[in-house]
Structure 1
Amino acid sequence: MNKYAIILAAGKGTRMKSDRPKVLHEVAGKTMLAHVVAATSAVAPEKTIAIVGHGATDVLGTLPEHVAYVKQEEQLGTGHAVKIAEPLLKNLHGMTLVIAGDTPLIRPETLAELFAYHQAEKATATILTAIADNPTGYGRIIREAGHVAKIVEQKDANDFEKSVQEINTGTYVFDNRALFEALSNITTDNAQGEYYLTDVIEILKDDAKKVSAFVLDDFNESIGVNDRVALATAEKIMRDRINTKHMLNGVTLIDPATTYIDADVEIGADTIIEPNVAIKGQTVISQGVHITSGSRIESSRLHHHTEVRNSTIEHSVLEPGANVGPYAHLRPETILHENVHIGNFVEVKASTLGVGTKAGHLTYIGNAMVGEHVNFGAGTITVNYDGKNKYKTEIEDYAFIGSNSSLIAPLNIGRNAITTAGSVITDDVHEDEMAFGRARQVNKVGRAKLMPSYHER
């Protein structure tokens, strides 16, 4: 049977106290909406429709191409939000998932089980429910003789109904045609004066349609994020889930509680990650990598047997055997080939360094193409920016750059060439040449005695 999905993403999220649309707040480096879209996409619906409203332009900018959308101009409730998808779905046969865009912890496996249960029960509607220790604020599932009778919202519930612990998670599967037929009959006769999607359940029951409930094993999956406290709770649960997955796949996390790994990060077996490490974005880490405390890695690729020691790496590539740090910074578009060494207080930006090249300390390499087995002495600077334009430095294989050299780009340093310590190099240095770019030292005998500070010693 065909599957369809409606994702509710129109709300402002007043309790978030934010100018950003609620569904665009992030959990483990990924918007809540993106988590829901990923879980929904995993069950392969024929059509997925997002209902957008507040901050629609920003929300639409995050949606993948396969997700269609309808804009809810007025926020008139969940029933109204689903109803405006009618032109895209009304006459289609199949099952329609309705899910909120602020439920980032829902698993794809749960949605697959929900669809399967709905089919097996031959239900017209199936509610995803959970058992809550404290159900306050949630809609309650009211059963009669074990079967679902209705859903009662918190503000409309009597004392008995408020005591019920089975709650509505806000996720459903409906027979598609029956859903839109029932939506035509809902009203705003409730405490909120809104069109409740939950009223569809009572309408279907009154029409002798079968309504089932599928109970979640893990209540955490049902958490909807309405404020920053719930956002932090979801973040912690998600990060625990992510860390557990990586450890079960053979990654050593010395202290999982202080290791922050984003949702889309990939890590190979036998990698060791020390405490206080953040790995973000689309980072891919191969096998046998070692990352020490204090490191931050974002959207980078670390090949096998690389090492990062207390350093920051952004949008860069480390090929096998490369090592970085401590206290180094690789900025975007940096590529370190095999066995490159970048030491303490070295910054590299938009540069490629060839096999075996070393920059041990206190060096800036920017907009440079560097060959193999080049050695950078301490204090070297590629002077790539004149205040308006950036220029390229090319350094060929086996060049030796003396300490405290300033290489004024555009510049080419040839194979086996040497720049002497303290040089300012403004002209190309050809293969096998040695370049001196410093003034001759002059010692003035006795001149120091004429300085005022001399007599204060």
Structure 2
Amino acid sequence: MDNCIILAGGQGKRMKTNKPKVLLEVLGEPMLEWVIKACESAGIGNICVVKGYEGEQVEAYVSGRNGSADVQTVLQSERLGTGHAVMMAADYLKERIGGNTLILCGDAPFIDRETISGSLALHKKAGNAVTVVTSEIDEPKGYGRIIRTADGISGIVEEKDCTDEQRKIKEINSGCYWFDTKALLGVLGELKPNNAQKEYYLTDCISLLLSKGLKAGAFTSENKNVSLGANDRKGLLALNDIARLGVIDKWLDFGIEFTCTDGVSIGTQVEIGAGTVIDSNVKLSGKTKIGEGCRIMSGCLLNNTIVGNNTVLNFVQANDARVDDNVKIGPWVQLRPDSHVLSGAKIGDFVEIKNSTIGEGTAVAHLTYVGDSDVGSNVNFGCGVVTVNFDGEKKFRTTIGDNAFIGCNTNLVAPVKVGTSAYTAAGTTVTHDVPDGALAIDRGKQANIEGYATRKLKARNEKIAMQKKA
């Protein structure tokens, strides 16, 4: 049974965080998640994550994720090198001795399905005991060099041990390997910490396997970033930039227009329809899905939000919301979870919608809060309307029928229902249901007290008059 071991025990001291290094994020997802998803997409259904620093955080993340693979964890209590980390998974390997084992680094997020599948095919075809995934880069300084032979490789030489001629080699070790599982178990116990760091190096397995007359080979990945990781925050930022621009490049090929890529960040699970235009300073994350022919203007932050076709969003922040076709929203609008704006609706500036349905063709112009409400079609909201949904202990819903007119500064105190084609007068506080076609009006009688303002503001007016004379 083919399986994978992901090395995820590193602390990443230079990151200056109490998180395990593999849980630091690239485009909003932990680096570990990138690696696991690459395995899943390549059809690897059994994964063992070797945890170490703050291992309970890794355990919590792995147990809480949804995916196709069976992911287990083992603990490396001491960080004694990559070989030692694999030793911690020896029992896991013994249960799968008949297949091949992929070894990956949990902090190298750009491993991909094509590299995993291609290297496995070569590994099996060549009958290798180990196949090293390599890449060719223009600046190989700092990486272990691959020493090739006529029928495979003879080993990996670390940078500090290279001769002048070996330093010219541009083919480097990516830190990714396929092993015949039985052969790997046969040499793990022979690893020795014979180096300055007193660590057990996984790369030493190659020479041990060769000494037993077994074959070692290399697969060169076409992915130039397959070996990239991060040792500090600058490196993590570089990974994010590479990933961000890579996603944008993909969407350009699918017909998406970007007016400017400054501040644009699109998650790996996001879907975008053809003909959509995205301006600068836009973040699309989670399972957000944008339809065709939309305009996503500057300042939009959409997370797990579904947007229909031909919709325009301007400075909209939306989480777990849904917006249908031909809708115009913004600027400065917040759609909170479980909000649904139906086709043809218009939501103006400084509006917040929470756990509510806004019907087709309804207009919520500006300065309005709609919470826990079911709003019909073609309703008009005046400025400053509030659905008063919380009494300090419980939340209640408001229902507004089709074609209703909600006057400016109306307070709808839930639970309350405004009927079809009903009106509320400006400034009204509605505490009882309004029948279909009725007008709700609740205003105290206006009284004018003559001379009150003159007396109240006498001193202030005199001061202003003196300043004008001066």
- TM-score between both structures, scaled by the size of structure 2: 0.92
User: Residues 118-162 of structure 1, C-alpha deviation per residue, up to 9 Å, x if partnerless?
Assistant: 122221111111233333332232345684222233455566655
Change in 2 beyond 3 A, CA 1:78/1:443: same
Q: Secondary structure at the match of 1:269?
A: coil
In structure 2, give the amino acid aligned to 1:27: V
Answer whether contact 1:368 1:394 (CA < 8 A) is retained: yes
1:420 to 416, 421, 425: 425
Q: Secondary structure at the match of 2:131?
A: strand
Answer whether contact 1:155 1:191 (CA < 8 A) is retained: no
- The yes-or-no answer on 1:353 pairing with 2:358 is yes
Q: Distance in 2 between matches of 1:60 and 1:266?
A: 30
Farther off after superposition, 342-351 or 69-78: 69-78
Q: Distance in 1 between matches of 2:53 and 2:239?
A: 22
Q: Distance in 1 between matches of 2:335 and 2:327?
A: 12
Q: Secondary structure at the match of 1:398?
A: coil
Change in 2 beyond 3 A, CA 1:121/1:323: same
Match of 2:37 in 1: 38
Match of 2:382 in 1: 377
- The yes-or-no answer on 1:23 pairing with 2:27 is no
Change in 2 beyond 3 A, CA 1:261/1:334: same
2:84 to 61, 70, 80: 80
Change in 2 beyond 3 A, CA 1:448/1:258: closer
Q: Distance in 1 between matches of 2:417 and 2:385?
A: 15
Q: Secondary structure at the match of 2:222?
A: coil
Report the Cα offset of residue 385 of structure 1: 2.5
1:342 to 343, 347, 359: 347
Q: Secondary structure at the match of 1:236?
A: helix
Equivalence map 1:236-385=2 (5 Å): 236-385=241-390
The percent identity for this pair of structures is 39
Match of 2:101 in 1: 96
- TM-score between both structures, scaled by the size of structure 1: 0.94
In structure 1, give the amino acid aligned to 2:253: L
Q: Secondary structure at the match of 2:384?
A: coil
Answer whether contact 1:156 1:190 (CA < 8 A) is retained: no
Q: Which runs of 5+ in 1 are unaligned?
A: none
Report the Cα offset of residue 344 of structure 1: 0.9
Q: Distance in 1 between matches of 2:35 and 2:351?
A: 40
In structure 2, give the amino acid aligned to 1:326: P
Report the Cα offset of residue 250 of structure 1: 1.9
Report the Cα offset of residue 46 of structure 1: 4.4
Equivalence map 1:391-402=2 (5 Å): 391-402=396-407
Answer whether contact 1:156 1:191 (CA < 8 A) is retained: no
Farther off after superposition, 30-39 or 60-69: 60-69
Q: Distance in 2 between matches of 1:448 and 1:290?
A: 51
Report the Cα offset of residue 3 of structure 1: 2.2
Paired positions, count: 456
Report the Cα offset of residue 226 of structure 1: 2.0
Q: Secondary structure at the match of 1:221?
A: coil
User: Residues 351-399 of structure 1, C-alpha deviation per residue, up to 9 Å, x if partnerless?
Assistant: 1111111101111111212122211101111122334433222222222
Answer whether contact 2:115 2:223 (CA < 8 A) is retained: no
Q: Secondary structure at the match of 2:350?
A: strand
Q: Secondary structure at the match of 1:439?
A: coil
Q: Distance in 1 between matches of 2:407 and 2:160?
A: 75
Q: Distance in 1 between matches of 2:14 and 2:213?
A: 39
In structure 2, give the amino acid aligned to 1:50: V
CA RMSD in angstroms comes to: 1.9
Q: Distance in 2 between matches of 1:327 and 1:158?
A: 61
Q: Which runs of 5+ in 2 are unaligned?
A: 466-470
In structure 2, give the amino acid aligned to 1:292: M
Q: Secondary structure at the match of 1:20?
A: coil
